[in-house]
Amino acid sequence: MNAVFAPQREVAVLIGLRRPHQSRWDAEDSLEELAQLAISAGATPAFRVLQERSLPNPRTLIGPGKAEEVRAICEEGVDLVIFDDDLTGSQQRNLEGVLGRKVVDRTGLILDIFAQRARSREGKLQVELAQLKYLLPRLTGHGVELSQLGGGIGTRGPGETQLEVDRRRIRRRIVKIEEGLEKVRRHRALLRRGRQKQALLTAAFVGYTNAGKSSLLNALTHAALPVADKFFATLDPTVRKVIVPGGRVILLSDTVGFIRKLPHQLVAAFKATLEEVRASDFLLHVIDISHPDWQNQSQAVMAVLGELGAAAKPLINVYNKVDKLPHPEAVAFLARRPRSVVVSARTGAGLDDLKYAMAETLKTVEDATAVARDERRRP
Ligand SMILES: Nc1nc2c(ncn2[C@@H]2O[C@H](COP(=O)(O)OP(=O)(O)OP(=O)(O)O)[C@@H](O)[C@H]2O)c(=O)[nH]1
Ligand SMILES: [Mg+2]
Protein backbone atom coordinates (compact mmCIF):
# COMPACT_ATOMS: atom_id res chain seq x y z
CA MET A 1 0.00 0.00 0.00
CA ASN A 2 1.18 3.49 -0.75
CA ALA A 3 2.15 5.01 2.59
CA VAL A 4 0.81 8.42 1.58
CA PHE A 5 -2.71 6.99 1.47
CA ALA A 6 -2.39 4.88 4.60
CA PRO A 7 -4.93 6.17 7.08
CA GLN A 8 -3.36 8.00 10.00
CA ARG A 9 -3.77 6.01 13.21
CA GLU A 10 -5.45 8.08 15.89
CA VAL A 11 -3.36 8.51 19.05
CA ALA A 12 -5.33 7.63 22.17
CA VAL A 13 -5.05 7.99 25.93
CA LEU A 14 -6.75 5.23 27.93
CA ILE A 15 -8.42 5.93 31.26
CA GLY A 16 -9.53 3.46 33.89
CA LEU A 17 -11.03 3.70 37.34
CA ARG A 18 -9.95 1.37 40.09
CA ARG A 19 -12.64 0.72 42.70
CA PRO A 20 -11.64 -0.16 46.28
CA HIS A 21 -12.82 -3.79 45.91
CA GLN A 22 -10.75 -4.21 42.75
CA SER A 23 -7.16 -5.39 42.79
CA ARG A 24 -4.62 -3.27 40.95
CA TRP A 25 -3.95 -6.35 38.82
CA ASP A 26 -7.62 -6.52 37.78
CA ALA A 27 -7.78 -2.86 36.87
CA GLU A 28 -4.54 -3.03 34.90
CA ASP A 29 -5.64 -6.18 33.05
CA SER A 30 -8.82 -4.44 32.06
CA LEU A 31 -6.83 -1.44 30.79
CA GLU A 32 -4.49 -3.78 28.89
CA GLU A 33 -7.50 -5.32 27.21
CA LEU A 34 -8.80 -1.83 26.41
CA ALA A 35 -5.45 -1.18 24.70
CA GLN A 36 -5.94 -4.32 22.56
CA LEU A 37 -9.42 -3.09 21.68
CA ALA A 38 -8.03 0.33 20.75
CA ILE A 39 -5.42 -1.28 18.47
CA SER A 40 -8.12 -3.47 16.90
CA ALA A 41 -10.12 -0.30 16.21
CA GLY A 42 -7.13 1.25 14.46
CA ALA A 43 -5.84 3.59 17.19
CA THR A 44 -2.47 3.78 18.91
CA PRO A 45 -2.89 3.67 22.70
CA ALA A 46 0.02 5.90 23.68
CA PHE A 47 -0.85 6.80 27.29
CA ARG A 48 -2.61 5.12 30.21
CA VAL A 49 -4.11 6.71 33.29
CA LEU A 50 -5.56 4.77 36.21
CA GLN A 51 -7.42 6.62 38.95
CA GLU A 52 -8.28 5.09 42.30
CA ARG A 53 -11.73 6.27 43.36
CA SER A 54 -14.45 4.81 45.50
CA LEU A 55 -17.23 6.69 43.74
CA PRO A 56 -17.20 7.97 40.16
CA ASN A 57 -17.60 11.72 39.78
CA PRO A 58 -21.15 12.23 38.44
CA ARG A 59 -20.07 15.02 36.08
CA THR A 60 -16.86 13.66 34.59
CA LEU A 61 -16.38 10.16 36.09
CA ILE A 62 -12.77 11.00 37.05
CA GLY A 63 -12.16 13.82 39.52
CA PRO A 64 -11.43 17.40 38.41
CA GLY A 65 -7.73 17.14 39.34
CA LYS A 66 -7.33 13.98 37.28
CA ALA A 67 -9.22 15.57 34.40
CA GLU A 68 -6.71 18.44 34.45
CA GLU A 69 -3.86 15.90 34.34
CA VAL A 70 -5.46 14.18 31.35
CA ARG A 71 -5.97 17.53 29.63
CA ALA A 72 -2.23 18.15 29.87
CA ILE A 73 -1.51 14.71 28.37
CA CYS A 74 -3.90 15.56 25.53
CA GLU A 75 -1.49 18.33 24.52
CA GLU A 76 1.03 15.59 23.58
CA GLY A 77 -0.57 14.93 20.21
CA VAL A 78 -3.54 12.94 21.50
CA ASP A 79 -6.62 12.71 19.23
CA LEU A 80 -8.89 10.57 21.29
CA VAL A 81 -9.65 9.75 24.95
CA ILE A 82 -10.98 6.26 25.68
CA PHE A 83 -12.64 5.38 29.00
CA ASP A 84 -12.72 1.80 30.23
CA ASP A 85 -15.97 2.50 32.08
CA ASP A 86 -19.23 3.36 30.44
CA LEU A 87 -20.07 7.06 30.36
CA THR A 88 -23.46 8.69 30.40
CA GLY A 89 -24.25 11.10 27.58
CA SER A 90 -23.69 14.12 29.80
CA GLN A 91 -20.41 12.77 31.24
CA GLN A 92 -19.18 12.26 27.70
CA ARG A 93 -20.13 15.82 26.72
CA ASN A 94 -18.66 17.34 29.88
CA LEU A 95 -15.41 15.48 29.33
CA GLU A 96 -15.20 16.58 25.70
CA GLY A 97 -15.65 20.13 26.97
CA VAL A 98 -12.91 19.83 29.59
CA LEU A 99 -10.42 17.84 27.50
CA GLY A 100 -11.07 19.39 24.10
CA ARG A 101 -10.80 15.94 22.49
CA LYS A 102 -13.16 13.28 21.24
CA VAL A 103 -14.20 10.99 24.10
CA VAL A 104 -15.49 7.41 23.75
CA ASP A 105 -16.19 4.64 26.23
CA ARG A 106 -15.49 0.91 26.08
CA THR A 107 -18.90 0.10 24.64
CA GLY A 108 -18.57 2.83 21.99
CA LEU A 109 -15.15 1.45 21.07
CA ILE A 110 -16.41 -2.13 20.73
CA LEU A 111 -19.34 -0.92 18.63
CA ASP A 112 -16.89 0.93 16.40
CA ILE A 113 -14.83 -2.23 15.84
CA PHE A 114 -17.97 -4.16 14.99
CA ALA A 115 -19.00 -1.41 12.55
CA GLN A 116 -15.59 -1.62 10.84
CA ARG A 117 -15.77 -5.43 10.56
CA ALA A 118 -19.39 -5.92 9.47
CA ARG A 119 -19.52 -7.26 5.90
CA SER A 120 -22.78 -9.12 5.41
CA ARG A 121 -26.13 -7.36 5.27
CA GLU A 122 -27.16 -9.15 8.43
CA GLY A 123 -23.98 -8.12 10.24
CA LYS A 124 -24.37 -4.51 9.21
CA LEU A 125 -28.01 -4.37 10.30
CA GLN A 126 -27.17 -5.91 13.67
CA VAL A 127 -24.35 -3.45 14.29
CA GLU A 128 -26.51 -0.49 13.27
CA LEU A 129 -29.24 -1.67 15.62
CA ALA A 130 -26.78 -1.89 18.52
CA GLN A 131 -25.37 1.55 17.68
CA LEU A 132 -28.79 3.19 17.57
CA LYS A 133 -29.77 1.62 20.87
CA TYR A 134 -26.52 2.91 22.36
CA LEU A 135 -27.11 6.36 20.91
CA LEU A 136 -30.75 6.86 21.88
CA PRO A 137 -30.36 7.41 25.64
CA ARG A 138 -27.26 9.53 24.95
CA LEU A 139 -29.14 11.97 22.75
CA THR A 140 -29.75 14.73 25.23
CA GLY A 141 -30.20 18.32 24.22
CA HIS A 142 -28.18 21.20 25.53
CA GLY A 143 -31.63 22.62 26.22
CA VAL A 144 -31.93 25.20 28.93
CA GLU A 145 -28.38 25.35 30.24
CA LEU A 146 -26.92 26.37 26.94
CA SER A 147 -29.64 28.70 25.79
CA GLN A 148 -28.88 30.63 28.97
CA LEU A 149 -25.29 30.97 27.81
CA GLY A 150 -26.53 33.09 24.94
CA GLY A 151 -25.40 31.10 21.91
CA GLY A 152 -22.11 31.16 20.04
CA ILE A 153 -19.40 28.56 19.71
CA GLY A 154 -20.17 25.28 21.41
CA THR A 155 -23.81 26.04 21.91
CA ARG A 156 -24.93 25.33 18.39
CA GLY A 157 -26.41 21.90 18.04
CA PRO A 158 -29.72 20.27 18.05
CA GLY A 159 -32.27 22.05 20.19
CA GLU A 160 -35.00 20.06 21.91
CA THR A 161 -37.35 20.12 18.91
CA GLN A 162 -34.66 18.84 16.58
CA LEU A 163 -33.76 16.19 19.15
CA GLU A 164 -37.34 14.99 19.36
CA VAL A 165 -37.36 14.67 15.56
CA ASP A 166 -34.06 12.78 15.70
CA ARG A 167 -35.31 10.49 18.42
CA ARG A 168 -38.44 9.67 16.50
CA ARG A 169 -36.42 9.01 13.35
CA ILE A 170 -34.08 6.70 15.24
CA ARG A 171 -36.96 4.79 16.81
CA ARG A 172 -38.54 4.31 13.38
CA ARG A 173 -35.24 3.05 11.99
CA ILE A 174 -34.89 0.64 14.95
CA VAL A 175 -38.32 -0.84 14.21
CA LYS A 176 -37.41 -1.20 10.53
CA ILE A 177 -34.12 -2.95 11.27
CA GLU A 178 -35.80 -5.26 13.76
CA GLU A 179 -38.29 -6.26 11.08
CA GLY A 180 -35.46 -6.95 8.64
CA LEU A 181 -33.63 -9.05 11.21
CA GLU A 182 -36.79 -10.99 11.99
CA LYS A 183 -36.80 -12.10 8.34
CA VAL A 184 -33.16 -13.17 8.63
CA ARG A 185 -34.01 -15.12 11.76
CA ARG A 186 -36.88 -16.93 10.06
CA HIS A 187 -34.65 -17.79 7.09
CA ARG A 188 -31.97 -19.17 9.41
CA ALA A 189 -34.57 -21.21 11.28
CA LEU A 190 -35.65 -22.73 7.94
CA LEU A 191 -32.06 -23.68 7.11
CA ARG A 192 -31.68 -25.24 10.54
CA ARG A 193 -34.84 -27.26 10.13
CA GLY A 194 -33.47 -28.54 6.81
CA ARG A 195 -30.33 -29.71 8.60
CA GLN A 196 -32.36 -31.36 11.35
CA LYS A 197 -34.35 -33.29 8.74
CA GLN A 198 -31.09 -34.67 7.41
CA ALA A 199 -30.32 -35.68 11.01
CA LEU A 200 -27.13 -33.60 10.97
CA LEU A 201 -25.88 -32.62 14.37
CA THR A 202 -24.30 -29.24 14.88
CA ALA A 203 -21.64 -27.95 17.22
CA ALA A 204 -20.88 -24.27 17.68
CA PHE A 205 -17.51 -22.78 18.48
CA VAL A 206 -17.76 -20.28 21.30
CA GLY A 207 -15.00 -18.47 23.12
CA TYR A 208 -13.27 -15.27 24.00
CA THR A 209 -12.36 -13.10 21.04
CA ASN A 210 -8.96 -14.04 19.55
CA ALA A 211 -8.96 -17.49 21.22
CA GLY A 212 -8.53 -19.21 17.85
CA LYS A 213 -12.06 -20.33 16.93
CA SER A 214 -11.73 -19.59 13.21
CA SER A 215 -8.20 -21.06 13.15
CA LEU A 216 -9.53 -24.30 14.63
CA LEU A 217 -12.39 -24.48 12.19
CA ASN A 218 -9.85 -24.02 9.38
CA ALA A 219 -7.56 -26.69 10.82
CA LEU A 220 -10.39 -29.21 11.24
CA THR A 221 -12.12 -28.68 7.90
CA HIS A 222 -9.40 -27.30 5.62
CA ALA A 223 -11.46 -24.17 5.20
CA ALA A 224 -9.85 -20.80 4.56
CA LEU A 225 -11.73 -18.46 6.87
CA PRO A 226 -9.90 -15.25 7.64
CA VAL A 227 -8.07 -15.24 10.96
CA ALA A 228 -6.29 -12.28 12.50
CA ASP A 229 -4.49 -11.27 15.64
CA LYS A 230 -7.22 -8.71 16.28
CA PHE A 231 -10.32 -8.64 18.41
CA PHE A 232 -13.58 -9.51 16.66
CA ALA A 233 -12.07 -10.68 13.37
CA THR A 234 -15.19 -12.78 12.82
CA LEU A 235 -18.70 -11.36 12.90
CA ASP A 236 -20.68 -13.47 10.46
CA PRO A 237 -21.44 -17.10 11.22
CA THR A 238 -20.01 -19.80 8.96
CA VAL A 239 -20.86 -23.49 8.89
CA ARG A 240 -18.49 -26.28 7.74
CA LYS A 241 -18.65 -30.07 7.83
CA VAL A 242 -16.25 -32.29 9.70
CA ILE A 243 -16.15 -36.11 9.72
CA VAL A 244 -15.46 -37.58 13.16
CA PRO A 245 -14.20 -41.07 14.09
CA GLY A 246 -16.99 -43.53 13.32
CA GLY A 247 -17.69 -41.72 10.05
CA ARG A 248 -20.39 -39.35 11.29
CA VAL A 249 -20.64 -35.84 9.91
CA ILE A 250 -20.96 -32.88 12.26
CA LEU A 251 -21.68 -29.33 11.16
CA LEU A 252 -19.38 -26.90 12.88
CA SER A 253 -20.34 -23.26 13.14
CA ASP A 254 -18.00 -20.37 13.85
CA THR A 255 -19.30 -17.09 15.10
CA VAL A 256 -18.55 -13.82 16.84
CA GLY A 257 -16.29 -14.00 19.89
CA PHE A 258 -17.17 -12.81 23.38
CA ILE A 259 -15.44 -10.39 25.74
CA ARG A 260 -15.78 -9.18 29.32
CA LYS A 261 -18.43 -6.46 29.59
CA LEU A 262 -19.78 -7.39 26.14
CA PRO A 263 -22.22 -4.54 25.47
CA HIS A 264 -25.72 -5.81 26.13
CA GLN A 265 -26.92 -3.85 23.09
CA LEU A 266 -24.68 -6.10 20.99
CA VAL A 267 -25.85 -9.33 22.58
CA ALA A 268 -29.45 -8.28 21.95
CA ALA A 269 -28.78 -7.07 18.40
CA PHE A 270 -26.82 -10.19 17.43
CA LYS A 271 -29.72 -12.46 18.34
CA ALA A 272 -30.01 -13.83 14.78
CA THR A 273 -26.30 -14.65 14.66
CA LEU A 274 -26.12 -16.01 18.19
CA GLU A 275 -29.13 -18.23 17.61
CA GLU A 276 -26.63 -20.60 15.92
CA VAL A 277 -25.12 -21.09 19.37
CA ARG A 278 -28.46 -21.62 21.08
CA ALA A 279 -29.71 -24.02 18.44
CA SER A 280 -26.58 -26.16 18.27
CA ASP A 281 -26.48 -29.62 19.83
CA PHE A 282 -23.28 -29.01 21.72
CA LEU A 283 -20.60 -26.37 22.18
CA LEU A 284 -16.85 -26.25 21.66
CA HIS A 285 -15.50 -23.70 24.12
CA VAL A 286 -12.15 -22.51 22.76
CA ILE A 287 -9.81 -21.15 25.43
CA ASP A 288 -6.46 -19.49 24.69
CA ILE A 289 -4.35 -21.34 27.26
CA SER A 290 -1.34 -19.11 26.48
CA HIS A 291 -3.19 -16.00 27.68
CA PRO A 292 -2.29 -15.03 31.27
CA ASP A 293 -5.92 -14.24 31.97
CA TRP A 294 -7.49 -17.37 30.44
CA GLN A 295 -9.42 -18.35 33.55
CA ASN A 296 -11.25 -15.03 33.77
CA GLN A 297 -11.81 -15.06 30.02
CA SER A 298 -13.34 -18.51 30.28
CA GLN A 299 -15.65 -17.32 33.07
CA ALA A 300 -16.71 -14.33 31.00
CA VAL A 301 -17.65 -16.67 28.15
CA MET A 302 -19.73 -18.85 30.48
CA ALA A 303 -21.50 -15.70 31.71
CA VAL A 304 -22.45 -14.69 28.16
CA LEU A 305 -23.62 -18.26 27.47
CA GLY A 306 -25.84 -17.91 30.52
CA GLU A 307 -27.27 -14.68 29.09
CA LEU A 308 -28.01 -16.53 25.85
CA GLY A 309 -29.72 -19.39 27.67
CA ALA A 310 -27.07 -21.83 26.42
CA ALA A 311 -25.13 -22.54 29.62
CA ALA A 312 -26.63 -25.99 30.13
CA LYS A 313 -25.63 -27.35 26.73
CA PRO A 314 -23.09 -30.19 26.51
CA LEU A 315 -19.70 -28.52 26.14
CA ILE A 316 -16.13 -29.54 25.33
CA ASN A 317 -13.34 -27.34 26.69
CA VAL A 318 -10.80 -26.86 23.92
CA TYR A 319 -7.55 -25.48 25.37
CA ASN A 320 -5.86 -23.95 22.32
CA LYS A 321 -2.44 -22.46 21.47
CA VAL A 322 -0.54 -25.03 23.53
CA ASP A 323 2.38 -24.53 21.08
CA LYS A 324 2.93 -21.09 22.62
CA LEU A 325 3.62 -22.47 26.10
CA PRO A 326 7.27 -22.91 27.10
CA HIS A 327 6.27 -25.98 29.18
CA PRO A 328 3.29 -27.62 27.47
CA GLU A 329 3.53 -30.58 29.86
CA ALA A 330 2.47 -28.22 32.65
CA VAL A 331 -1.08 -28.16 31.28
CA ALA A 332 -1.38 -31.91 30.63
CA PHE A 333 -3.62 -32.09 33.72
CA LEU A 334 -6.25 -30.08 31.82
CA ALA A 335 -6.61 -32.85 29.26
CA ARG A 336 -7.46 -35.27 32.08
CA ARG A 337 -10.50 -33.26 33.06
CA PRO A 338 -13.78 -34.57 31.67
CA ARG A 339 -14.69 -33.29 28.21
CA SER A 340 -11.45 -31.37 27.82
CA VAL A 341 -8.75 -31.45 25.17
CA VAL A 342 -5.49 -29.57 24.75
CA VAL A 343 -4.78 -28.59 21.16
CA SER A 344 -2.93 -26.29 18.80
CA ALA A 345 -4.67 -25.02 15.70
CA ARG A 346 -1.24 -23.97 14.47
CA THR A 347 0.63 -27.29 14.73
CA GLY A 348 -2.38 -29.61 14.60
CA ALA A 349 -1.49 -31.15 17.96
CA GLY A 350 -4.48 -32.68 19.74
CA LEU A 351 -6.91 -32.29 16.84
CA ASP A 352 -7.51 -36.07 16.70
CA ASP A 353 -8.34 -36.03 20.41
CA LEU A 354 -10.78 -33.23 19.69
CA LYS A 355 -12.49 -35.26 16.98
CA TYR A 356 -12.78 -38.23 19.36
CA ALA A 357 -14.25 -35.99 22.03
CA MET A 358 -16.78 -34.72 19.47
CA ALA A 359 -17.74 -38.27 18.45
CA GLU A 360 -18.31 -39.16 22.10
CA THR A 361 -20.32 -36.05 22.84
CA LEU A 362 -22.39 -36.76 19.76
CA LYS A 363 -23.24 -40.17 21.17
CA THR A 364 -24.37 -38.76 24.52
CA VAL A 365 -26.43 -36.07 22.76
CA GLU A 366 -28.14 -38.71 20.62
CA ASP A 367 -28.74 -40.99 23.60
CA ALA A 368 -30.28 -38.11 25.51
CA THR A 369 -32.51 -37.28 22.53
CA ALA A 370 -33.59 -40.92 22.25
CA VAL A 371 -34.45 -41.08 25.97
CA ALA A 372 -36.48 -37.86 25.68
CA ARG A 373 -38.30 -39.28 22.65
CA ASP A 374 -39.10 -42.55 24.44
CA GLU A 375 -40.39 -40.66 27.43
CA ARG A 376 -42.69 -38.64 25.22
CA ARG A 377 -44.03 -41.84 23.63
CA ARG A 378 -44.70 -43.54 26.95
CA PRO A 379 -48.46 -43.55 27.59
N1 LIG B 1 0.52 -19.82 18.23
C2 LIG B 1 -0.75 -20.05 17.94
N3 LIG B 1 -1.52 -19.06 17.46
C4 LIG B 1 -2.82 -19.33 17.18
C5 LIG B 1 -3.39 -20.61 17.38
N6 LIG B 1 -4.70 -20.54 17.04
C7 LIG B 1 -4.91 -19.28 16.62
N8 LIG B 1 -3.80 -18.54 16.69
C9 LIG B 1 -3.64 -17.11 16.36
O10 LIG B 1 -4.49 -16.36 17.20
C11 LIG B 1 -5.05 -15.23 16.51
C12 LIG B 1 -6.56 -15.28 16.55
O13 LIG B 1 -7.04 -16.38 15.82
P14 LIG B 1 -8.52 -16.45 15.22
O15 LIG B 1 -8.72 -17.84 14.69
O16 LIG B 1 -8.78 -15.30 14.32
O17 LIG B 1 -9.33 -16.26 16.59
P18 LIG B 1 -10.92 -16.16 16.78
O19 LIG B 1 -11.24 -16.85 18.07
O20 LIG B 1 -11.64 -16.64 15.57
O21 LIG B 1 -11.06 -14.59 17.00
P22 LIG B 1 -12.31 -13.59 16.67
O23 LIG B 1 -12.98 -14.03 15.44
O24 LIG B 1 -11.62 -12.29 16.54
O25 LIG B 1 -13.19 -13.65 17.89
C26 LIG B 1 -4.49 -15.33 15.07
O27 LIG B 1 -3.35 -14.51 14.99
C28 LIG B 1 -4.11 -16.81 14.94
O29 LIG B 1 -3.07 -17.02 14.01
C30 LIG B 1 -2.54 -21.65 17.89
O31 LIG B 1 -2.93 -22.80 18.13
N32 LIG B 1 -1.24 -21.30 18.16
MG1 LIG C 1 -12.83 -15.69 14.30
| Ligand 1 site, residue 287, Cβ cutoff 6 A | no
Supply the pLDDT for residue 1.
Answer: 41
Q: Can you tell me the distance from the alpha carbon of 68 to that of 62, in angstroms, rounded to the nearest whole number?
A: 10
| Number of the ligand 1 atom closest to the C-alpha atom of 234 | 23
| Among the listed residues 354, 287, 283, 356, the one whose alpha carbon sits nearest the alpha carbon of residue 322 | 287
Supply the pLDDT for residue 142.
Answer: 45
Supply the pLDDT for residue 276.
Answer: 87
Q: Can you tell me the distance from the alpha carbon of 314 to that of 329, in angstroms, rounded to the nearest whole number?
A: 27
Supply the pLDDT for residue 143.
Answer: 39
User: Edge-to-edge strands of the sheet including 43-52?
Assistant: 43-52, 10-18, 80-83, 102-105
pTM: 0.89
Gap from CA of 78 to ligand 1 centroid (Å): 31
| Ligand 1 site, residue 234, Cβ cutoff 6 A | yes
Q: Can you tell me the distance from the alpha carbon of 132 to that of 88, in angstroms, rounded to the nearest whole number?
A: 15
| Ligand 1 site, residue 219, Cβ cutoff 6 A | no
Q: Can you tell me the distance from the alpha carbon of 54 to that of 68, in angstroms, rounded to the nearest whole number?
A: 19
Mean per-residue pLDDT pooled into runs of 10, the chain (379 residues): 62 93 85 95 95 93 95 95 94 93 94 91 92 86 43 54 83 94 89 82 96 97 91 90 94 93 87 88 97 94 93 96 94 92 97 97 87 76
| Ligand 1 site, residue 231, Cβ cutoff 6 A | yes
Q: Can you tell me the distance from the alpha carbon of 34 to that of 261, in angstroms, rounded to the nearest whole number?
A: 11
